[in-house]
Structure 1
Amino acid sequence: MTGTENPTPLDRADIRVRHDEGASGAIRAFWDRVRSGDLGALPVVVGLIVIWTVFTALNPVFLSSANLVNLLFDSSTVGVIALGVVLMLMVGEIDLSIGSVSGFSSALLGVLWVNQGWPVALAILAAIVVGGLIGLLYAQLYNRFGMPSFVATLAGLLAVLGLQLYLLGGTGSINLPYGSPLVNFGQLLTMPAWASYALAALPGLAMLITGYRTAARRRAAGLSAHSLTGVILRAAVVTIGLELAVAYLNQARGVPWMFGLFVVLVVGMNYALTRTQWGRSMTAVGGNREAARRAGINVKAIYTSAFVFCAMFASLGGILAASRLASASQQAGTGDVNLNAIAAAVIGGTSLFGGRGSAYSALLGVIVIQSIASGLTLLDLSSSLRYMITGGVLAIAVIVDSLARRSRASHGRA
């Protein structure tokens, strides 16, 4: 072999193994992954298409740009909470107090900002920090005393709810200043066109950068890698699709700033989960705790980070919900907040068995949840149907996850 010849990549050297090349090879590899149970976001995307098709056939207003803008406003609050749930499910645990923590944080915001006269930014920061301390308490109960997360957070649900009621006192609610920047952020503010188009380009840009870096590292290690053309093509398809969606939304009020914040959090958390040592440790701990410990991962620290981040996201979601309603009340964080946040994470593709999930699960799942709620509202149907349909979709998502997990195990991909 001369020095000018390209050596065969190490993972392509065995001629007895099938190596997929080109567009047909990519399609065949995708089909093989689906057959082996590696479904990714496919079920939720198919579910969204079905849901949107049915509701649009029943009421064409559903897919109007004005209705979709309202849907994005409503998705942001629960979506931020669901992002924390994804982290807990990734390590195979659960937090049942997310609704109470979100309601307590909104009450704390109202007390500090409205009653005590704190600057709003400082009140928001204090509420999020207190939420993180609640998560830290759960982590200590779990790590030091072996208290199951189910029990620890169930106790926290009751205790934090009591704190919320105590803060609000006899009035039961605190009205936030209408017309304030925070309330406008939750109810009215949408992005200028240039900002919304820039936001739409963010996921594609992230795909391009991470894809290029991954390919470069694989080639440096003597392994095969996707061509740069393929990486650019995938990023371009995603970007064009999102840009067209933004152009459609801009026919009405445009993309809400609150949804933009949610998307930035999702993209940032996705990078942390897929491209950092912490994210790889999260996946390892959720997949097999003992194996992760023997590999040198600080398992207790990983659990602590999951509890703390989950509680902080719940606090931020409660603050966004308060800004949306311009009020902090005893009803905040109650009702179906827990159900919707956990359901969004699971429906979006995060496994209940731990070790598999994505930050984009929160985004996709909450859009499914809010699409059902919006569609039934437009049809003037009762809330009872929304609960039943959401429960049915959640059950289907768990069944699909269980069957996919069984298929992955049988194909050696678990």
Structure 2
Amino acid sequence: MTTTAVREEGPAAVTPAPTVGSHVRNYWSRVRGGDLGSLPAVLGLIVLCAVFTTVRPVFFSERNFANLFTQGAAVTVIAMGLVFVLLLGEIDLSAGFASGVCAAILANVATVLGLPWYVAALAAIGTGVLIGFVLGFLVAKVGIPSFVVTLAGFLAFQGVVLLLMKEGTNISIEDDVLVAIENGKIPPAIGWLICALAVAGYAAVQLLRYRNRVRRGLVADPIAVVVARIAVLALVLGIAVYVLNRERSINALITSDKGMPIVVPVIAVLLVFWTFVLQRTTYGRHLYAVGGNREAARRAGIPVDRIRISAFVICSGMAAVGGIVAASQARSVDPNTGGSNVLLYAVGAAVIGGTSLFGGKGRVIDAVLGGAVVAVIINGMGLLNYSSGVKYIVTGVVLLLAAGVDALSRRRAAATGAR
């Protein structure tokens, strides 16, 4: 009789939790494999701020620091919407003048017709949504390339703005609420409260995610890394709020100018909302899937056409919000609102921040980081008294570098099998 020895198995092997060192090594491996994310934008922003502050210390003064937020707000908001279209590998060349059309609607409803600010704002955003639906329908259902459709919109919307503005009329924005979006300030105490709530909310999300992954036996980032992220956010926001809460008025006895611009929490709310939509909803996963491989998404049962239309709706809707912000900053609307370099800067902001022109890769935070880079370049070079021509050249070179980094990173990722 043959006796078979039975070996009792011990507890199931548990995957060891990653250490800080292994986390850093994994991150570096992803970077070497072409997954750069927003790293180039962050490094570029740090370098630019350091250079401009060294050459012109006034760059980091309280007054100029606040100017950076207000000057780049409209472009940043429009760039947020463009991220959704770029994720599909499409383009919207009409976003700039679409914001101008919506701003013109806002001015006519609020000032000419004298209706309340919320009616004017809803009319402007509704116009943007309608524009986005028409553009998306022509792209998704009719099959016209987005470049052609939005180029036609770029040309047509210039004419619409001229018609709405009576071929050159300047309409002032007189409503206090609309003007306050870009020109109003939040009391310092409220600014600190918003900062504390933002840090607490971010900490809660990070710690809850860590606990859920550990509870389910999934690989989670080391707790030290999670705490470090929270600490860095708290430090950055704390410094920003401290600087913004300092007095910026030349004569504080006559009028005070301190506090966070109202547009800052507006952009923060938009950032949180759209980040949640992209990263925590089925719609967001479908959007990435369509941008990564449209045919595979179709075969998986994803309503590709509806996703494509919705991306244009969001893009033009955010362009409308950008138009409202621009009208608030200028306290008026004219035929040039949304024109000139608005579109170029908005597309540049999204791409510089890390959103891929090839589709399938990008986040809303990319628009904010890219918008900050563009604002720093324009503001810093203005302080150095460079001409507009030099500003355009430098911004164009930075955009070309960002696109080049995107192309090279995708090639690297394909070579290493990361994508």
Q: Distance in 1 between matches of 2:198 and 2:364?
A: 12
Structure 2 residue aligned with 1:15: none
- Partner in structure 1 of residue 115 of structure 2: 118
Q: Helix, strand or coil for the counterpart of 1:370? A: helix
User: Does 1:308 pair with 2:313?
Assistant: yes
Aligned position for 1:87: 84
Distance 2:396 2:205 in 1: 36
Shift of 1:322: 0.7
Does residue 1:185 correspond to 2:181, yes or no?
yes
Would you say the 8 A contact 2:275–2:365 is kept in 1? yes
Which residue of the other structure, out of 25, 28, 32, is the alignment partner of 2:25?
28
Could you tell me which of 364, 367, 373 is aligned with 1:359? 364
Correspondent of 1:60 among 53, 57, 61? 57
Once the two structures are TM-superposed, the CA of residue 205 in structure 1 deviates from its matched residue by 4.2
Please, which of 332, 335, 340 is the counterpart of residue 337 of structure 2? 332
Map Cα deviations across residues 256-312 of structure 1 (whole Å, 9 max, x no partner): 111210111012111111111111111111111111111221111111110001001
- What does residue 148 of structure 1 align with? 145
1:377 aligns with 2:386: no
Give 1:410 deviation, angstroms: 1.4
CA–CA separation in structure 2 for the residues paired with 1:205 and 1:82:
27
Structure 1 residue 20 displacement after superposition: 7.6
1:284 equivalent to 2:281? Answer: no
Q: In the aligned structure 2, how far is the partner of 1:95 from the partner of 1:186? A: 25
Q: Corresponding residue for 2:46?
A: 49
Change (3 A) 1:359 1:206: farther
Alpha-carbon contact 1:85-1:345 (below 8 Å) kept:
yes
Amino acid in structure 1 at the alignment position of 2:240: A
- Unaligned 5+ runs, structure 1: 13-18
* 3-state SS of paired residue (1:311): helix
Residue deviations 1:232-271 (CA, integer Å, cap 9, x gap): 3322322222212211221242321112101110121111
Q: Does the CA-based 8 Å contact 2:278-2:285 persist in structure 1?
A: yes
* TM-score (ref. length: structure 1): 0.92
What is the letter of the counterpart of residue 166 of structure 2? G
Alpha-carbon contact 1:88-1:306 (below 8 Å) kept: yes
Determine the structure 2 residue equivalent to 1:251: 246
Aligned: 1:275 with 2:280: yes
Q: Which residue of 1 aligns with 2:97?
A: 100
What is aligned with 2:232? Answer: 237
Question: Does the CA contact (< 8 Å) of 2:290 and 2:360 recur in 1?
Answer: yes
Could you say which structure has the larger radius of gyration?
A: 2
CA shift, 1:372, in A, is 0.7
Q: Secondary structure at the match of 2:72?
A: helix
Question: Secondary structure in 2 aligned to 1:251?
Answer: coil
Could you say if the C-alpha distance between residues 327 and 287 of structure 1 is closer, same or farther in structure 2, counting changes exceeding 3 Å?
A: same
Q: Quick one: which amino acid aligns to residue 280 of structure 2?
A: R
Cα distance change, pair 273–202 in 1 and its aligned pair in 2 (3 A):
farther
Q: Tell me the matched-pair count.
A: 403
Q: Structure 1 residue 225: deviation in Å?
A: 2.2
Secondary structure of the structure 2 residue equivalent to 1:38: coil
Q: Distance in 2 between matches of 1:198 and 1:403?
A: 43
Identity of aligned residues (%): 42
In 2, Cα distance between equivalents of 1:391 and 1:36: 27
Provide closer, same or farther for how the CA distance between residues 77 and 135 of structure 1 changes in structure 2, counting only shifts above 3 A: same
Alpha-carbon distance change, 391 to 202 in structure 1, aligned in 2, over 3 angstroms: farther
Alpha-carbon distance in 2 for matches of 1:105, 1:185: 16
Structure 2 counterpart of 1:324, one-letter code: Q
* 1:226 to 2:221 alignment: yes
Match of 1:16 in 2: none
- The worse-fitting range, judged by mean Cα deviation, of 115-124 and 382-391 is 115-124
Separation in structure 2 between the aligned mates of residue 175 and residue 347 of structure 1, nearest angstrom: 34
